[in-house]
Amino acid sequence: MTLTACGGSDTNTSSERTSTVTDLFVPPANQTPSACPSSAPADDGAADWTLPGATGSVAVTGSTDTAAPRVAVEAPFKVTQTQVQTLKAGDGPVVADTATVSVCYMGVNGRDGSVFDSSYERGEPVEFGLDRVVPGFQKAIAGQQVGSTVAVAMVPADGYPEGQPAAGILPGDTLVFAIKILKAR
């Protein structure tokens, strides 16, 4: 499963378009989003999660009510197994495997530490079904409680094994997401 298409059977290759990560993460027009904080986090403490990889490492500081997360990569960062870490447990209901969720998130490429997508930068959460995202994103959110802040470092097979050139993701890139789960239904 990839995040590169919304479905359908259109096979017209003459005007083929490569979708970006955000193509499925556009909130419906009738959704009233609460803001995702966009200010930088304070640089005054230890990360909430530090993970050494097969190469490199990552340090993640979760978002707060007033600040976006920080994901610091010692590149190139690669993992051999997808790993999920709850940074702060929420107290809401448990998110089902196929729930529709509203989240704030930041996606970072382990190859070079670049942010390839961020609802924090846009200032708005996104809503999507967990059955419509890459497997690593679903693994990070399903089973968590609403209100939780989580991080995931995913192997290429759980992200974009063939890459996603429009987002700067090459085949074989490990991806890291910092996620705040706002709602689930």
The proportion of the chain whose per-residue pLDDT surpasses 90, expressed as a percent, equals 77
Does residue 134 have a pLDDT over 70? yes
Query: Which residue in this structure is represented by tokens 């196929």?
Result: 98
Tens of pLDDT, residue by residue over 152-161, are 999 999 999 9
Domain 47-161+169-182 has CATH 1.10.260.40: no
Least-confidence region, from 33-37, 57-61, 69-73, 158-162? 33-37
* Half-sphere exposure for 149 (CA within 13 Å, toward CB): 17
157/164 Cα distance (integer angstroms):
13
Query: Which residue in this structure is represented by tokens 């096979």?
Result: 11
* Other CB atoms within 10 A of residue 94 CB: 13
Does residue 40 have a pLDDT over 90? no
Q: How confident is the model at residue 16 (pLDDT cuts 50, 70, 90)?
A: very low
Does residue 119 have a pLDDT over 80? yes
Least-confidence region, from 4-8, 38-42, 74-78? 4-8
Predicted local confidence at residue 59, as pLDDT: 98
